[in-house]
């Protein structure tokens, strides 16, 4: 009985943490009008879940999130514009080529799809790397692309996981609004972090 009660308390505690950091991520994104706030808010989110992955449970979620958000807003807020723009253009190109109905356009759509996949996993790996290592922005993207390429199964799994969460969002938008982003970030950080010690990045760990 005591184990059951402790288990329920632990679950409630984790749900509360995930909901809280998810709300902070939403508020941070809205403060920057989504486009400008999305990247620094996501950095703040991953900074919090990184602490959890490292085994640090009793942390001030608000302080860590706000510190990372405030510190990185000026440096990374403009990244949201090219990230969203590039993703939108690639998806639009895929849609245009795919509906042309000719072998040439099918071939072109395949190339664009491949480019989009590389772009997607580079963005996914960017945030765990950003909160864990201290590099230049260009180095983050380069290393993210390398990790995604040399770990194809893990990368495909992460992409499928995001698709799954998107489908869940369509059917349960309210639940996903309060929990979805933080749970996804925690899973991504956990899976990506497992590859960090096996890759030599020098002494740049934060």
- Phi, psi at 204, each rounded to 5°: -100, 15
Q: Are 32 and 16 in contact (CB under 8 A)?
A: no
Q: Which residue has the tokens 């190109």?
A: 93
Q: Please, what's the b/e burial string for 16-29 (b: 16 or more CB within 10 A of its CB; e: otherwise)?
A: ebbebbbebbbebb
Write the CA distances from 196 to 141, 161, 192, 199, integer angstroms. 15, 20, 7, 6
Distance between CA 144 and CA 5 in Å, rounded?
A: 42
Domain ranges of the chain: 2-198
What count of Cα atoms within 13 Å lies in the side-chain half-sphere of residue 93?
Answer: 16
Euclidean distance between the first and the last CA atom of the chain, given in angstroms as a whole number: 42
Per-residue pLDDT of the chain (206 residues; tens, 9 = 90+): 677 778 788 889 999 999 999 999 999 999 988 889 999 999 999 999 999 999 998 899 999 999 999 999 999 999 999 999 999 999 888 888 777 767 777 778 888 999 999 999 999 999 999 999 988 999 999 999 998 998 888 899 898 988 888 888 888 888 778 888 999 999 999 988 877 755 555 546 66
Instruction: Give me the phi and psi of 133, to 5 degrees please.
Output: -125, 160
Residues 44 and 69 sit within 8 Å (Cβ to Cβ): yes
pTM: 0.90
**φ, ψ of residue 114 in degrees (nearest 5):** -60, -45
Q: How many helices and strands in the chain, by DSSP H and E? A: 8, 0
């Amino acid at each position: 009985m005591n184990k059951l009660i402790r288990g329920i308390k632990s679950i409630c505690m984790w749900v509360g943490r995930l909901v809280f950091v998810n709300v902070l991520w939403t508020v941070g994104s809205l403060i920057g009008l989504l486009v400008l706030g999305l990247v620094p808010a996501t950095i703040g989110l991953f900074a919090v879940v990184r602490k959890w992955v490292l085994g640090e449970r009793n942390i001030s979620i608000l302080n860590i999130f706000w510190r990372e958000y405030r510190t990185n807003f000026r440096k990374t807020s403009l990244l949201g514009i090219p990230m969203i723009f590039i993703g939108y253009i690639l998806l639009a190109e895929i849609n245009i080529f795919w509906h042309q109905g000719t072998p040439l356009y099918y071939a072109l759509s395949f190339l664009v799809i491949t480019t989009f996949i590389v772009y997607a996993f580079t963005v996914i790996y960017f945030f765990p790397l950003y909160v864990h290592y201290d590099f230049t922005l260009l180095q983050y993207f380069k290393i993210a692309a390398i990790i995604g390429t040399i770990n194809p199964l893990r990368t495909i799994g992460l992409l499928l996981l995001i698709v799954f969460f998107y489908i869940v969002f369509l059917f349960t938008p309210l639940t996903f609004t309060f929990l979805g982003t933080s749970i996804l970030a925690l899973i991504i950080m956990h899976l990506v972090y497992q590859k960090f010690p096996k890759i030599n990045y020098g002494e740049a760990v934060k």
